[in-house]
Amino acid sequence: MTSISEARFARLAQEPLRTTGPKGGFASGLAAQWRDIWAHRELLDMLIRRELKARYKDSTLGFVWSLLRPLALLLIYFVALGQFLGAARNIPDFAVFIYTGLTAWGLFSEAVSTGTASIVGNSGLIKKVYLPREIFPISALGSTLFNFAIQLVILVGATVVVGDFPTGTRWLYLPLALAVIVVTALGWSLLLSAINVYLRDVQYLVEIALMIAFWASPIVYSWGLVSDKIDSPVLEQLYLTNPMTIAILGFQQTFWVAGDGQPVPDNLTGALFAWLGIGLVFTWIAQRVFMRLQGNFAQEL
């Protein structure tokens, strides 16, 4: 026996035995799991880079493509909805308004749809190596955030171009609304990615649900138009019971300077904080469900 091996044995004898795989039951083990994920942060970073690098690897335009899609959407909505259907008449600075909503919505929808597919998409790794599996939905969110950051830069540029650059306390809405979107998207990604392993239909269901949610949020029409049409406060509340509606309104508070005279739901800041709290609890529950389901991932994939 060499001295290297003896040193190893001595070190191993000091270490406690640990149970393999994911830790803890439904309530406990949360801290341990997040510590485990934290320990893999370098890997997380690499996975995000991998996603980004691989996405447009062999295309000539590369990252420009991730910008062209929302710009095309912007053009379509601006022309079709704004000019032909006349939405622009009631909404000042219609282009900035739409792009604000599209940027916020793009973050959420892309994070949820890529997050949902992330576990199944990485089945090769999950079946062969043990890693805290939350890494995959989180890395999907991470690469989405990168795309979002680029779009945000364009959005800020657009406000400069139209001459309505947001100033002062307006900016406080942005981090809060962003936090609501990120937390909500993470919760849904964790939950749906785990369920998707057992029921592949989920990813198609998500596409449809996202489409409905898109039109249920004030992205291409303003909250003012909705509140004009709805008389009943119950229905109004029902419409507002949607974290994305609240978050998008928050985004518009920051970037849509021309919309200052437009109606805003009462106590938007309070609603943002409330949804942030709900989102955190939801993410916590989603992670517990994820824990429960992940034990059988390797055999179901």
Partner 1 sequence: MGNPSVVEIENVSKRFVIRKEKSLKERVVNFGRSNLHKEDFWALRDVSLTIESGTTVGLIGPNGSGKSTLLKTIGGILQPTTGTVQVRGRMAALLELGAGFHPDLTGRENVYLNASILGLSTAQTDQFFDAIVDFSGIAAFIDTQVKFYSSGMYVRLAFAVAVHVDPDVLLVDEVLAVGDEPFQRKCMDRIRQFQQEGRTIILVTHGLDQVADLCDRAIVLERGVVKADGHPLDALRVLRSEFDQIREDELTRERAAVGAAVGAPRAQVTKVETIVDGTPAETVGLGSPMTVRLTVEAEQELRDWTLGFGFDSSHGQAIYSTSSRLLGVPMPPLRGTASFDFTIPATWLGEGAYTAHGSVGDASDSEIHILREAARLHVTTPGQEIGLVSLGATLDPRPV
Which chain residues interact with partner 1 by CB under 8 A?
1-2, 4-6, 8-9, 12-13, 15-22, 42-43, 46-47, 50, 53-54, 57-58, 124-131, 199-201, 295-296, 298-299
Least distance (Å) between residue 266 CB and partner 1? 41
Give whichever of 18 and 160 is closer to partner 1, judged by the CB atom.
18
DSSP H/E element including 95: helix 94-121
- 3-class secondary structure per residue, 104-144: HHHHHHHHHHHHHHHHHHCHHHHCCCCCCCCHHHHHHHHHH
Least distance (Å) between residue 133 CB and partner 1? 10
Return the structure tokens found at 214: 């898109």
- The count of other CB atoms within 10 Å of the CB of residue 20 is 7
Least distance (Å) between residue 63 CB and partner 1? 15
Give whichever of 129 and 212 is closer to partner 1, judged by the CB atom.
129
Least distance (Å) between residue 9 CB and partner 1? 5
Q: How many CA atoms lie within 13 A of 135 on its CB side?
A: 25
Closest CA to 70 of 106, 96, 113: 106
Give whichever of 124 and 233 is closer to partner 1, judged by the CB atom.
124
Give whichever of 171 and 204 is closer to partner 1, judged by the CB atom.
204
Cα 68 to chain centroid, rounded = 20
CA distance 143 to 49: 7
Cα 236 to chain centroid, rounded = 25
Give whichever of 47 and 247 is closer to partner 1, judged by the CB atom.
47
Least distance (Å) between residue 285 CB and partner 1? 21
